[in-house]
Structure 1
Amino acid sequence: MAIFGITREAWVMIIPFIGFGFGHFLDVKETERMIRFRDKSALYGGNVKEGEQPTWP
């Protein structure tokens, strides 16, 4: 039986790619969220002058 013309065997191949895409999306969003806090921690923050590269990407 096919749903929207896609067989069960094809879904077995498609679902992992959807999971990978969603996981990658979440990873990118977490990286964007953490970038806001780089070099601002009292413990790990350094003296970064204006225009210098951050201590970590």
Structure 2
Amino acid sequence: MTWKIPTKSGINIQDMTDYYSTVVQGFTFQARDGVSKQQLNQVIHIAMKSWPLFI
């Protein structure tokens, strides 16, 4: 099932969930492999800066 939630940007909700799922999966691999907390926080910061693209 594909959800069709309207956004100002017109981006499909599936595209948004695919993006953030990929970020989270990569984040967990990086954390597992010992990346510093500072680097992980930077990933979060950049991912959240992209949020306006999806709303």
Q: TM-score range by the shorter chain?
A: 0.3 to 0.5
TM-score, with normalisation over the residues of structure 1?
Answer: 0.40
Instruction: Say which one has the larger Rg.
Output: 1
